Amino acid sequence: MRKNQLGNSDLFVSEIGFGCMSIGTEEQTGVRLIHKALDYGINLLDTADLYDGGLNEEIVGKAVKGRRQDVIIATKVGNRRYPGQEGWVWDASKAYILSAVKESLRRLQTDYIDLYQLHGGTLEDPIDETIEAFEQLKKEGVIRQYGISSIRPNVVREYASRSSIVTVMNQYSILDRRAEEEILPLLEQRGISVIARGPVASGNLAAGGERKAEKGYLDYAKDELLELRGKLSDMAAGKCTLSQLAIRYSLSAPAVASAIAGASSLEQLKENAGTAGIPPLSEETLADIRRISHANQYTQHR
């Protein structure tokens, strides 16, 4: 499995990462999936304190016990739950981040987090204070590096210029090419790595995705989705699966260090990991994909 450097840091991650949100809440199943991912050479495990009320972090912690040195754990902070209150509220304050990290460490059964990410962010946040929190944790050795998970170009721009983030996790796929105009070029120029999430677009670009087309996706209507799936399937025929083509597309941008793909079964995981054995897409193939898909742009999320 190819490994890529995150920014200019000492973190090297597998080009295929594992989105642990997909493993569910059954511990034995989740641990088995994570162990298999590690066996395939995947070392980047992405989770968040928000997932299943913290249970996801707990399962990740149990799965990596005894193999911690082989794993890059990426988790997230910013979504705060209050006891007895339904839902969550956004809190990017320094005090909350310094408090929340302790709970993530406890659930993950580790004394450090490799990549700690702000799970969102707005321009109304106390950004300097937020950055101070991450810098303090880094100085103390509680985290190795930090980044943000955001699809807001203006927020990404602020952190790229004001902080020492090494990553931006951003939704990026054939069906969601919004990052290509504003975010990817900026981060490539700054030497900040992108972790691409949603490369198979919530399953729309995977086996059985026809059933998901009913709801559409971003600016794609059902018929457009089905037509594009057909064209992409023809393009992949005899070379790889549709989902592997989609993951390879997300990895084609120079700024992208890893594509995070989820899997709820061993079969899905095997297929995702198998993308590592598929050669990078040619410029001709990339041009063909861009020609038949939408060059979407950010209109909201500012």
Residue with tokens 């990052």: 179
- 249 carries an active-site annotation: no
241-244's contacts with Cβ under 8 Å and 24+ in sequence apart are: 241/207, 241/271, 242/205, 242/206, 242/207, 242/209, 243/200, 243/205, 243/206, 243/207, 243/271, 243/272, 243/275, 244/271, 244/272, 244/274, 244/275, 244/278
Question: Could you give the CA distance from residue 71 to residue 239 in angstroms, rounded to a whole number?
Answer: 30
Catalytic residue among 51, 146, 159, 217: 51
DSSP state of 171: E
3-state secondary structure of 32: helix
CA torsion through residues 231, 233, 239, 242, sign: positive
Are residues 9 and 80 in contact, defined by beta-carbon separation less than 8 angstroms?
no
Are residues 212 and 202 in contact, defined by beta-carbon separation less than 8 angstroms?
yes
Question: Could you give the CA distance from residue 98 to residue 162 in angstroms, rounded to a whole number?
Answer: 20
Q: Count Cα neighbours of 302 within 13 Å in the Cβ-side half-sphere.
A: 4
Active site residues: 51
